[in-house]
Amino acid sequence: MKIATWNINGVKARLETALAWFAEARPDIACLQEIKSVDEGFPAGAFEELGYHVATHGQKGFNGVAILSRQPLEDIRRGLPGDDSDEQARYIEATVSTATGALRIGCLYLPNGNPLGTEKFPYKLAWMDRLIAHARSQLELEMPVLLLGDYNVIPEPRDARTPQDWLGDALFQPESRARFRALLNLGFTEAVRATNDRPDTYTFWDYQAGAWQRNNGIRIDHILLSPQAADLLRGTGIDAHVRGWDKPSDHVPVWVDLAA
């Protein structure tokens, strides 16, 4: 089973690009972030024609997440628990039944946190604390759980082409990286690094300064697997070539192959 995550950076602006990738990659489940669309404005019909069930948690012009699955989506929950006052659409989860059981899929768009010195960085850290608490509760399900998305965290220096350029950025702060490690320490496996130790492994290239052409990238899109999901791990991939297509997102799809 192929399960993917992709920060699409505006589903309406990238619809043709998205449909081309779906036709090429044929994921069984795909998590999209930064759809930048309210629920009723999401072009669900275009994906339904490809055979997908669609669930969204949208927001006008900003944020927004979606799960698309060839199998029906069950027990859909929108919003990250822990703060009822948080109005930002950054998390959605659902259960998908498979031939061997069921998977719990959490699609997340973690706050960027920039610029430092504003309220945005404490919001990022508080959001990560809520994610850690929720992830701990998900492990209690004792079923395969995947937390996929744009984490806006560069875990290690090797996950950036020029790590020195990110020292003053929220994505690379010690507090952000420590909370990412705390997630792993709960018992989650970071799928890409479990299967791929190569350098120059990136998922994001900025639109500015020829970053794509110079391969000046960072790795901030991650797939975390509960122990039950890690037992099913067969492989991972990063479809970096999509960054070179017309009207690309600045992120590319990342996927995991599970024996499910």
Q: Which residues are annotated as a binding site?
A: 7, 34, 150, 152, 250-251
Tokens describing residue 212: 């794509």
Q: Extract the runs of DSSP E, i.e. beta strands, from 34-175.
A: 53-57, 65-69, 73-78, 91-98, 101-109, 145-150
Contact 146, 103 (CB under 8 A): yes
Q: At what angle do helices 120-139 and 174-185 cross, to 10 degrees?
A: 10
CA 201 and chain centroid, separation? 16
Please tell me which residue in 53, 57, 222, 251 is annotated as part of the active site: 251
Give the annotated binding-site residues for Mg(2+).
Answer: 7, 34, 150, 152, 250-251
Active site residue 202: no
Please tell me which residue in 91, 109, 151, 202 is annotated as part of the active site: 109
Please tell me which residue in 52, 53, 150, 222 is annotated as part of the active site: 150
CA 135 and chain centroid, separation? 15
Tokens describing residue 29: 């489940």
Tokens describing residue 17: 């690009």
The DSSP 8-state label assigned to residue 208 in this structure reads S
Active site residue 251: yes
Active site residue 150: yes
| SS3 (DSSP) at 233 | strand
Residues noted as catalytic = 109, 150, 251
